[in-house]
Structure 1
Amino acid sequence: MATPPVNVLTYHYDTASSGVNSNEILLTPANVNVASFGKQFTVSVDGAVYAQPLIYTGVTITAGVNTNAGAAGVHDVVFVATEHDSLYAIDANTGTLLWKRTFLDTTNPGSNVNNTFNATEIVPVPSYDVGSGQISPEIGITGTPVIDQGSNLLYVSPRRKKQSMRLHAINIADGTDAANPFLIGDTTSSSRSNFLSLCCLWCNPRGKETNNTRIYVYGCGDGSVLDPTGTGNRIVQFNALRQHQRCALSLVSNNVYVQWASHGDNGPYHGWVVVWNVADVKGSTGFQLKGVLNTSPNNGLAGIWESGGRLVFEPDGSAFYFASGNGTGAVPTLDSNGFPTNANYENSLVKVVADSTTNALNQNFNGWGLKVADYFMPYNFASLDLSDLDFGAGGPLLLPDSAGNMSHPHLMIAGGKEGKIYLISRDNLGGFNPTDDNVLNAILNSSGHRTPPVQIGAALSTAAFFNNTIYWVSGQSDRANAYVINSAKTALIMTSQTAINDFGDYPGSVIVSANGSTAGIVWVMDRRANQIHAYDATNFATELWNSGQMSGDDLGSVVKFAVPTVANGKVYVGTNNSLVVYGLTI
């Protein structure tokens, strides 16, 4: 019986963020080598590709305003999003462009909905507008989109200077809108931005910024204003100029989730998660705003960026988790249940569940429709703040029950810039203790605190988990390592590492391809040499192939946090100006 083709519809392959395609029957450690594997084609695109390419096989492409002549028909498709606010549908086997949707056209051709403000020009956001060159020279689509196989819709959030931020539901057949896009926020500023100091939130004067948005929470945090509806409460509104949609979008049980951080710590900004119900997005109800959560409603910062990672969900969708970034370093006062009384979750791993008892006018401490159910904050979070060592620089990884034991059946791992890898029970994340980390692999350090050891040269990506092994590449010019968890679930033991000791800064999350539990290959991006490497999953010291071995296999400039996609015998990599595809050559 033939194995069905693999679809990659979401970041890092699944809602646990495992990073594994276990149905790869064509690529093996025996044939991924310089003699039989290499570049197949390159497709030029109009901007940098920070989002992971997505794969959907057997798509029926239809004629329309975005479709190339002669492209109608059934294709295996790779979807590529760019910082120039374009979305490409490309034949995954030949590189032929099927359709291209730009979100910059002011004329709204066909069923494209770009312009509802009568703008005469729409462009991506120039990097100088946000006071940060982390993504340069323009900011358009950064977070990886997500595809709903049931409705054949792709959800994406483009960023535009004239229209700010929206959420679109795109027909994968032709690139048109299936519904009116949801305006997440439109922000105007009367003066140039002022840079936010990590030491002071409210003392810095700012230009007046006006936010047109339905997304807000009650609180007196950074950028708060009096509720314009006249309740007398202070509210924190979504600021579309300051917030950066870096993380991947998620789709679970007809709900689309989007989260935000900042551009270079320039404020006012917060960590946000927003969820929409899309069960009837093609019908009369369209996008239904279902919940809003803010990580710092009475403070600031605490963005959710995870080096391009994602929310990770329990298998039944009952809860999700994220890691937040730097805050102000103020030691929290805890209530009787151990939660911060000011509802601020900086440098934290946070568990969130639905909250049907609240709405936009009747909120909980962090918003409505969603609520914090548990959290973990490292004991030394204040020193992490001062040193810009975001705990939330790495994305969490949900481990399967097979990785646990009877005492700790539900595990996850997380890590950030400090290089510690935290092994955590999802049944009790650990809360905050000012002297120790209440996690499974904490040991006594030289300062007398119980905390995990440093085991990686900064975690600025999401690890992959295959055959009870964790694979992680350093985010700051160091090696890639493989680990196993000991039987007591109290330690991570490194089992192998790469000979290469410098993959550059911010090389992005690793990917594993395999045929069930065999033929595992670990794919690692290399920003120092602008290459992609393939390693034998049984031993990270065994390199099978890299794109620098053969003339003509060169990759081009690798953007930070780039994640390759491996499916159906091919490897798809986005660069600063193209999609590069590798596969078997004989």
Structure 2
Amino acid sequence: MRNFLAPFILALPSLCWSPAHAVDVLTSRNNLARTGVNDQEARLTPANVDARGFGKLWTLYADGQVVAQPLYVSGLRVDTTTNPAVPPVQGTFNAVVVATMHNTVYVYDADNERPGPQGRNVPLWAVWLGQPRPGGKDIDMFSTSDPEWGILSTPVIDAAKSVLYLVAWHDEGAQGYKYRLHALRLKDGSHAVPPLELQAPGLDSRRQKQRTGLTLVQGVLYIGFGGDGSRGLLMAHDAATLQQKTVWNVTPSGNDGGLWQSGVAPAADAQGNLYLMTGNGTFDAATGGANYGDSFVKLHLEGGNIVVKDYFTPCNQAFLATVDMDLGSSGPVLIPGTDLVFGAGKHPHIFLLSTNRMGKYTPPPNAGAADCPNPNALQDLGQAEHHHLHGSPVYWQGSGDPQIYLWRENELLHAYPFVRRRIVAAPKLGVDALPKGMPGGMLSLSSLGKRNGILWAVTPFDGDANQWRGVRGVVRAIDAQNVGRTLWSSEQVSARDRLGLFAKFVPPTIADGKVFVATSGDTEPLQFYGPPARPQQFPARYQVVVYGLLPPRPTETVNQPGKDVRLLRAATGPLPAIDLARCVVADGRSLDCTDELTRVARAPALERLLVPTGNTFAGCQLARVTVATSTAAMQTALAIGFYAADVTAGQFSADHGRRNPAADLKVTGQATLKGGQAATLHEFAGVVNCTLDANNRSELRFKPYIEFLGTAPLKLYHDWDPIDGNHALGGAVTQIDRSAEILQ
């Protein structure tokens, strides 16, 4: 047994806690509807989440892989003085709860780093629950979760924030492997009631996996089981006593039908109905049977039994089961304030259903059909590509139409508008491509009501996380109102913000200005472990990474020549009408029309456009400027900016060049540089040739730069287009074209 308590010998003083931005994440994906949204986030906004002001704050030590979503408890009263197994701590804290595959539960102060011995943060308390089940090829074909399996599912916390419920997989030596249900007091980590061994007809504690998050509804805990070759089970247990109330079998007279949902807990409504999606398995409910493979199922606890109240099964269920296209590779999402539920799985269809009349089953015209109509669904939205969905979609009621976000493997992020109780078939697409393979993007969203929406995505960075170990992860912050705009990435300043190893299926948790992201460790060589190979070395450190707003730090700017950005083309043309009513007052004598220039030109402004009061833009022309930027450099670039100045009668005005963050750039094409490197083309807009007086018109002198952030001591690097002097546009010069010089 590891000496997991050794780093935790320091007692913490009582701290003050401020409830100004209190929010709780007590269950899988934030709420029982499983929308994945924290709509009470007041600190993080699209305006302040960028690589200059947002990044990695610290890491929380763990003793094993973290495959359960971290939970967050605001204003938690901790008093461990009555539990001699942990160091004494008293106080009220915002706390983050971390559960590991080594069967350890940590409760950390979410607001303070608390460094301790060996570089490990000191938790408020930590409890080890017993030896986990060792890894094996019988449950882990590619050894991606070696060396052990302990707490696999996301725990749940009661509404009073007093008890944490979780299921741990135990190795009991000669007695074999067992699952135990634990109820831990959040104040000190002690057991509220003795742990209970989970038992049920059909439960194989050697092979079946308890991956779905726990659901707590009306005093009852629901615990789902799956696993290849094993029947799906849903257990109901009394939360006060942990005693079992009943068990529901997905395929009682058939095969398979596992409950896994890539870790997402079953959804639940206000009436206590549960909604889940099952995996491949036998289906015969339409002909009087009790088997519900590849189905949406609505359940309710009545008396001593879990009763099927309704269901929906795709017409091609037999085909799905034959080719391993689980409907239940993701979880259902209830749309708040409606009678609607939606979900998708490995097959490329999104189903929208009524919770009052789910639709049951319409047989296909041909037995075993790969595709067929589902008129019994409110909506069956398909697509041509057969890419799997894992985790769960996000549903957000933004300032416009509600949006449904999902990120399948081998695809771009999709954002579907939801209008008049239907999913609009033409989604908006993100811009960040994923490496080939599983499992796509794990999503969460933060906002302040309908404003400041940020979609947080954790994805693989360099490999297929289903078959390879050592796959790095990347965290992205994406503008929820415009998914083509990536605000920040943990790879932009990788030396500071790099995540570590990708934790399959785990969405990030966002609360009170911080983003908590689970990992499978810090680093490990990228390697394939097909049978019978097993890894012999493991990450030196397991951790949860904490991101947030960085404290202000002095920044030195280093200007130097470089070839990562170069002017490609520029030309003058008619200036679209600028609406002065849209400009903002800059001072008593001028208006700032920079944003208005960006709007009418449909390209970011390369300069700040200050217009004297009463100006009519006489003679002014639009300057369209295209730069060629190294595509590789754009992976870590913060911005593209410009030096820009007017020249009249031999006199330069002051520099009014503008910095445009990477998230706001306009991409107009792709190209290849002379050296063979890929290039991305970006377009910008300026104003030139304005009539200043009877003898003078303004000409433009400008030069682009690309901005990068260094590490300690913190420096900003501006790599400038390497030409001598500046580019000139205006007057007799109406265009510039350096394509032959720069591109192949």
TM-score normalised by length of structure 1: 0.77
The 3-state SS of whatever aligns with 2:379 is coil
> What are the Cα deviations for residues 506-525 of structure 1, in whole angstroms up to 9, with x where unaligned?
24531110011100000001
Please, which moves more after superposition, 469-478 or 564-573? 469-478
CA distance, structure 1, for counterparts of residue 55 and residue 161 of structure 2 = 35
| Counterpart check, 1:462 vs 2:405 | no
| Counterpart check, 1:506 vs 2:506 | no
Alpha carbons 2:389, 2:439 under 8 Å: kept: no
The 3-state SS of whatever aligns with 1:28 is coil
In structure 2, relative to structure 1, the CA distance for the partners of 1:131 and 1:463 (3 Å cut) is: closer
CA distance, structure 2, for counterparts of residue 514 and residue 463 of structure 1 = 16
Alpha carbons 2:57, 2:546 under 8 Å: kept: yes
| Counterpart check, 1:32 vs 2:58 | no
Alpha carbons 1:78, 1:90 under 8 Å: kept: yes
> What are the Cα deviations for residues 530-553 of structure 1, in whole angstroms up to 9, with x where unaligned?
210001110110110011111211
The 3-state SS of whatever aligns with 2:222 is strand
Partner of 1:441: 379
In structure 2, relative to structure 1, the CA distance for the partners of 1:491 and 1:37 (3 Å cut) is: closer
Deviation, structure 1 residue 491: 4.2
Partner of 2:231: 270
Partner of 1:147: 157
Partner of 1:364: none
CA distance, structure 2, for counterparts of residue 123 and residue 462 of structure 1 = 27
Partner of 1:221: none
Partner of 2:96: 78
Q: Aligned letter for 1:166?
A: R
Partner of 1:571: 515
The 3-state SS of whatever aligns with 1:287 is coil
Among 492, 501, 508, the alignment partner of 2:424 is 492
Alpha carbons 2:416, 2:423 under 8 Å: kept: no
| Counterpart check, 1:541 vs 2:484 | yes
Partner of 1:389: 325
- 1:171-250 to 2 correspondence within 5 Å? 171-184=185-198, 213=199, 215-216=200-201, 237-250=202-215
Deviation, structure 1 residue 455: 7.5
> What are the Cα deviations for residues 282-313 of structure 1, in whole angstroms up to 9, with x where unaligned?
xxxx2232221110000110001111111111
The 3-state SS of whatever aligns with 1:384 is helix
CA distance, structure 2, for counterparts of residue 471 and residue 490 of structure 1 = 11
CA distance, structure 2, for counterparts of residue 19 and residue 399 of structure 1 = 11
> What are the Cα deviations for residues 379-399 of structure 1, in whole angstroms up to 9, with x where unaligned?
111111121111111111001
Structure 2: which 5+ residue stretches go unaligned? 1-17, 115-122, 365-372, 463-472, 521-541, 552-744
Please, which moves more after superposition, 507-516 or 124-133? 124-133
Partner of 1:483: 416
CA distance, structure 1, for counterparts of residue 417 and residue 20 of structure 2 = 30
The 3-state SS of whatever aligns with 1:494 is coil
Aligned positions, number? 474
In structure 2, relative to structure 1, the CA distance for the partners of 1:299 and 1:38 (3 Å cut) is: same
Structure 1: which 5+ residue stretches go unaligned? 105-121, 185-212, 217-236, 360-368, 402-408, 443-450
| Counterpart check, 1:380 vs 2:316 | yes
| Counterpart check, 1:254 vs 2:219 | yes
Of the two, which has the highest radius of gyration? 2
- 1:239-318 to 2 correspondence within 5 Å? 239-262=204-227, 265=228, 267=229, 269-278=230-239, 281=240, 286-314=241-269, 316-318=270-272
Q: Aligned letter for 1:572?
A: F
Among 112, 117, 126, the alignment partner of 1:94 is 112
CA distance, structure 2, for counterparts of residue 160 and residue 470 of structure 1 = 41
Deviation, structure 1 residue 475: 3.5
In structure 2, relative to structure 1, the CA distance for the partners of 1:572 and 1:241 (3 Å cut) is: same
CA distance, structure 2, for counterparts of residue 26 and residue 548 of structure 1 = 22
CA distance, structure 2, for counterparts of residue 73 and residue 29 of structure 1 = 34
Q: Aligned letter for 2:454?
A: I
The 3-state SS of whatever aligns with 2:500 is coil
Please, which moves more after superposition, 166-175 or 499-508? 499-508
More RCO (CA 8 Å, sep 6+): 1
CA distance, structure 2, for counterparts of residue 381 and residue 19 of structure 1 = 28
Deviation, structure 1 residue 501: 2.3
In structure 2, relative to structure 1, the CA distance for the partners of 1:454 and 1:414 (3 Å cut) is: farther
Alpha carbons 1:148, 1:154 under 8 Å: kept: yes
Alpha carbons 1:154, 1:171 under 8 Å: kept: yes
In structure 2, relative to structure 1, the CA distance for the partners of 1:245 and 1:123 (3 Å cut) is: closer
Partner of 2:30: 13
> What are the Cα deviations for residues 97-140 of structure 1, in whole angstroms up to 9, with x where unaligned?
12111112xxxxxxxxxxxxxxxxx3433234536435322111
Among 287, 297, 300, the alignment partner of 1:353 is 300
